[in-house]
């Protein structure tokens, strides 16, 4: 089992911001349980203007199977049916994707000895 970090973006028109944020202030427990059952240990969504940025950490052994299980979950399907009409996919996303996955260009981990040395110097 290895950690996989995934970042994605999608549009959110200004007229949908309040409703989207209201929904995400009270995510359904069944949806949260399915996220965890699909081996996602960290999941965050940030907003900058009309763009949403999501970040998740996956710790399972079969990402595609775990995401398929999430997509097949009835509660998650109902949640997506409410959230997706509020979103606007970006034009250059991969065929079949709703959110556009982003390449990772940098990562610093706590286990990096350089970071540990810098923290101890402060």
Q: Catalytic: which of 5, 24, 47, 78?
A: 24
* CB neighbour list of residue 103: distance below 8 Å, 6 or more residues apart: none
**Separation CA 62–CA 6 (nearest Å):** 14
* CB neighbour list of residue 54: distance below 8 Å, 6 or more residues apart: 6, 7, 8, 9, 10, 43, 44, 45, 46, 99
Catalytic status, residue 24 = yes
90-98: which pairs have CB atoms within 8 A and are 24 or more residues apart? Answer: 90/9, 90/10, 90/11, 98/10
Task: Tell me which residues are annotated as active site.
Answer: 24
């Amino acid at each position: 089992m290895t950690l996989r970090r995934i970042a994605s973006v999608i549009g959110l028109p200004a007229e949908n911001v309040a409703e989207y944020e209201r929904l995400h202030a009270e995510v359904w427990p069944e949806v949260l349980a399915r996220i965890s059952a699909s081996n996602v240990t960290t999941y965050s969504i940030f907003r900058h203007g009309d763009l949403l940025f999501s970040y998740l950490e996956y710790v399972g052994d079969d990402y595609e199977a775990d995401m398929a299980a999430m997509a097949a979950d009835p509660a998650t399907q109902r949640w997506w049916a409410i959230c997706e009409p509020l979103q606007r996919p970006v034009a250059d996303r991969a065929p079949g994707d709703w959110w556009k996955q982003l390449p990772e260009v940098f990562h610093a981990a706590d286990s990096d000895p350089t970071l540990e040395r810098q923290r101890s110097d402060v």
